[in-house]
């Protein structure tokens, strides 16, 4: 029978969570890239913006939680980035902007920084 220490299980859970975060950001980036290729009024744009909004809303909610183990300053910085992404996606959705590139680049930086 296998025996795992609590620390091993906790480390695996953190690693799994980070992997899921990277996967969500990669999916968001893929959707946004496809939407950028066909335009802001496409079905792809609607899907990409909705998915990205859900991802970043969840991230901001998690980062706002007192149970989040990240350092407070890092959490605050990531919340600020998340709020910016949410504003940008809303601007695109409302037709006030038409450039996906900023959201894509910021999402790539955050995804690549998850360790």
User: Which residues are CB-contacts of 37 (< 8 A; sequence separation ≥ 6)?
Assistant: 44
> In b/e form, how buried is each residue of 69-96, taking b as 16+ CB within 10 angstroms?
eeeeeebeebbebbeebbebbeebbeee
* In a domain? residue 56: yes
pLDDT for the residue 50: 98
* In a domain? residue 4: no
Q: Could you give phi then psi for residue 113, rounded to 5 degrees?
A: -85, -10
Q: What is the Cα 48 distance to its own chain's centre?
A: 12
* pLDDT over 70 percentage in the chain: 90
* In a domain? residue 70: yes
pLDDT for the residue 12: 55
* In a domain? residue 7: no
Comparing 1-15, 51-65, 98-112, the range with the smallest average pLDDT is 1-15
* In a domain? residue 11: no
Angle of helix 6-38 relative to helix 101-113, nearest 10 degrees?
A: 160
Structural domain total, the chain: 1
Report the helix count and the strand count for the chain, using DSSP H and E. Answer: 4, 0
* In a domain? residue 8: no
**What is the extent of the structural domain holding 28?**
20-113
pLDDT tens digit sequence for 70-92: 999 999 999 999 999 999 999 99
pLDDT tens digit sequence for 12-67: 588 898 999 999 999 999 999 999 999 999 999 999 999 999 999 999 999 999 98
CA dihedral 96, 102, 103, 104 (to 10 degrees): 130
* In a domain? residue 14: no
């Amino acid at each position: 029978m296998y025996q795992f220490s609590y620390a091993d299980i906790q480390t695996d859970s953190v690693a799994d969570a980070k992997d899921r975060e990277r996967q969500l950001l990669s999916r968001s980036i893929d959707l946004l890239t496809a939407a950028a290729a066909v335009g802001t009024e496409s079905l792809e744009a609607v899907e990409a913006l909705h998915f990205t909004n859900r991802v970043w809303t969840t991230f901001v909610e998690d980062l706002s939680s007192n149970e989040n183990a990240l350092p407070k300053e890092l959490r605050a910085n990531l919340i600020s980035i998340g709020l910016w992404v949410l504003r940008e996606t809303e601007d695109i959705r409302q037709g006030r902007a038409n450039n996906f590139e900023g959201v894509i680049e910021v999402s790539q930086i955050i995804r690549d920084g998850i360790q």
